[in-house]
Chains A and B, each alone.
Chain A
Amino acid sequence: MPDITTDLIDNAPCGFLSFGDDGKIALVNATLLARLGYERSELEGRHVESIFAVGSRIFYQTHFFPLLKLHGRAQEIFLLLRSKTGEDVGVLTNAARHERDGQSATDCVFIEVVERRKFEHALLEAREVAQQANVELEQQRHAAEEANQAKSSFLAVMSHELRTPLNAIGGYVQLIEMGVHGPVTDAQKETLARIDRSQRHLLRLINDVLNLARIESGRVDYVVEPVLLADVVGSIMPMVEPQIERKKLRFKAEVSPDLVADADREKVQQILLNLLTNAIKFTSEGGSVSIEGGGSPDSQVFLRVTDTGTGIPRDMLEKVFEPFIQVDASRSRSTEGTGLGLAISRDLARGMKGDLNVESTMGAGSTFQLFLPRGRQLKQGLP
């Protein structure tokens, strides 16, 4: 009667093999013999390495054997076996080292992995592709950053180089106007005034470009302190009042006297002046412009500049914050702008951990909202 244990081991649905410390195969089951195409007599007594692919032999010597010797067991090790005909067979191996009949024996179970390997290969390949994509992405990001930095530096240098001769032009025009080089006729005065206007326009454009370049290259310092917003509004009113009066606009400012932002006072002034100048510029005679200040729910404060001007088309709402963009290119000539004001304003707002956005209805007007971090309440009596 056949021994049931022997039969079980021989025909189990996995390979089984036992070898001694000298590496010699003591026992191998029929399932493994059949899979590798050997006769029992061809394997028993031979070194276990002889059924390993070359890579597996190195792996056995450098990893598998030390692990068995020190740990007494190894689990879920992937090995490539080599059949008699040279075919590679991928298997997962569990092995344990025992004392048997006074000798050390290592028993191994091999389970062939075919489908699993396909998935593993796909995983490894996907990982490689992902890694490659990451590397490329990083390179592109780096290149883009460098290009942007180069652009900003170039603009800064160019703007500086352009300002020097422009200042000279302005200076000499003034000298001529003053009659330093002799009497000036009315016609000449008119021409000089045009030169002067053009010079100032060009200078403002260059200053704006320089500012934007500075902001984009991160070379702007922010002096953040508690700022009373009503105070800021008060300080810029004298600059815009003449224009408001000239266009007969209705003007209203409602900013609570204790509204405080954590911000750079000068930058807030610059932004607000830009928003007000725009509002006045794009509102026709008899319209209204207003400033409103308050606290938004998420620990921010806001200043809202509303006009009853021409409004901004829906598809332009975000674009107005891009450099050199004006809603109506044909009109910009008559309204004298560089197209940089809002780009600079938004960059400055964000530089102070705030933001600037806009809502608008064509024909009804626009509302620009400047958000800033809320500041601590200032003590009474302090500016």
Chain B
Amino acid sequence: MRHDIVKRNNVTVFGKGTQPMLFAHGFGCDQHMWRFVTPAFENDYRIVLFDYVGSGESDLFAYDADRYSTLEGYAKDVLDVIRALDLRDIIFVGHSVSSMIGVLAANEEPDRFAQLILIGPSPRYINDEEYVGGFERKDIDGLFEMMDSNFIGWANFLAPAIIKNADRPELGEELTESFCSTDPVIARRFAQATFLADNREDLARVTVPSLILQCSDDMVAPEQVGEFMNQRLASSTLRVMKATGHCPHMSHPDETIALIKEYLATASAT
């Protein structure tokens, strides 16, 4: 079982510490996106990286369209990894949609989680009456349409998936360089699960303390969304970053590392 999950989710474990830091990548990428921040933590923590089924170098044959049609399915992947490695006292670091996936997992097994670090989280992307998510439904439809169009000319994303299936070892070298490779059909469904989800109700059930890292100019998760998260989560800390964009751990790794370290230091002091 353990081995199955490790292989299925391409789990990577390293670091000199004992307390696990579980990093969950966001929509559109894979565990490689964490490589700018993990070196700062590997001396003090046990770093656990993985790819969701359908992303990166996970086992595409394990992909089940029904299971992964909602974020709950992705939360099962997180819990599978946690149970397979029997992780406890976890510092969960989730980017973008993985913030909400982490929330769902933590609500399922709160005792295993020590902290939730949520980078650019959003419980709902589409505006709803008073609630500002940042998008109208037609904007999201525009994204879907564009992803559909990219099915056809999707050289960067599609090619690695084909290489992987072709089982040609001489391309192995190339493969390790194929970051963020995604099967376009799976990516399209992941986009649907992500951008049509509404997890606002799940926030009130969270008991694990959390840090919200909010970028200052993030069009995917605007500042109002960070504030909404902060209001709804029971013991949360909101930090608005100088970093702009939606991927501060890639664009501004130093600030991201500093804020996480600062938070963890405060958390362990109290």
Contacts and interface: CB of A to CB of B under 8 A. Distances in A.
A74 interface: yes
Interface centre among B32, B142, B195 (most CB of A within 10 A): B142
Contact of B179 (A49, A58, A67, A75): A67
B180 A77 contact: no
Contact of B28 (A23, A54, A66, A123): A66
- Summarize A's interface: helix, strand, loop or mixed: helix
Contact of A90 (B139, B149, B155, B195): B149
Contact of A71 (B180, B195, B246): B180
Interface in A63-79: 63, 65-67, 69-71, 74-79
Interface string A38-72: 00000000010100011111110111011101110
A52 B244 CA distance: 17
B243 to A, nearest CB: 10
A59 B143 contact: yes
A77 B150 CA distance: 7
B146 A66 contact: no
Given A66-B250, A80-B142, A57 B219 contact: yes
A120 B144 CA distance: 15
Contacts of B143: 54-55, 58-59
Contacts of A109: none
Task: Give the size category of B's interface with A.
Answer: 35 or more
Contacts of A62: 26-29, 96, 220, 246
Interface in A81-125: 90, 92, 117, 120, 123-124
A76 B29 contact: no
Nearest to A80: B146
A74 B144 CA distance: 19
Nearest to A79: B146
A59 B153 contact: no
A130 to B, nearest CB: 15
Given A63-B157, A69-B251, A55 B146 contact: yes
B142 A65 contact: no
A146 interface: no
Contacts of A78: 146, 149-150, 152-154
Contacts of A49: 219
A368 B167 CA distance: 53
Contacts of A67: 156, 179-180
Interface centre among A23, A55, A69 (most CB of B within 10 A): A55
A21 interface: yes
Contacts of A298: none
Contacts of B154: 76-78
A95 to B, nearest CB: 10
Nearest to A63: B28
B149 A70 contact: no
B156 A69 contact: no
Nearest to B157: A63
A74 B149 contact: no
Contact of B251 (A65, A77, A120): A65
Interface string B25-49: 0111100110100000000000000
A325 B146 CA distance: 58
A22 interface: yes
B32 A70 contact: yes
20 contacts: A21-B251, A22-B244, A54-B143, A57-B220, A58-B140, A61-B219, A62-B29, A63-B157, A63-B180, A66-B28, A66-B29, A67-B179, A69-B247, A70-B32, A76-B153, A77-B154, A78-B149, A79-B146, A80-B142, A117-B149
Interface of B: 26-29, 32-33, 35, 96, 135, 139-157, 177, 179-180, 195, 217-220, 244-247, 250-251
Given A58-B195, A62-B27, A70-B32, 20 more contacts: A22-B251, A54-B135, A55-B143, A55-B144, A57-B220, A58-B143, A62-B28, A62-B220, A65-B247, A66-B247, A66-B250, A67-B156, A69-B247, A70-B33, A70-B35, A71-B177, A76-B153, A117-B149, A124-B149, A124-B152
The 9 closest A-B pairs by CB, nearest first: A55-B142, A62-B28, A55-B143, A61-B246, A54-B139, A70-B179, A63-B28, A76-B155, A66-B29
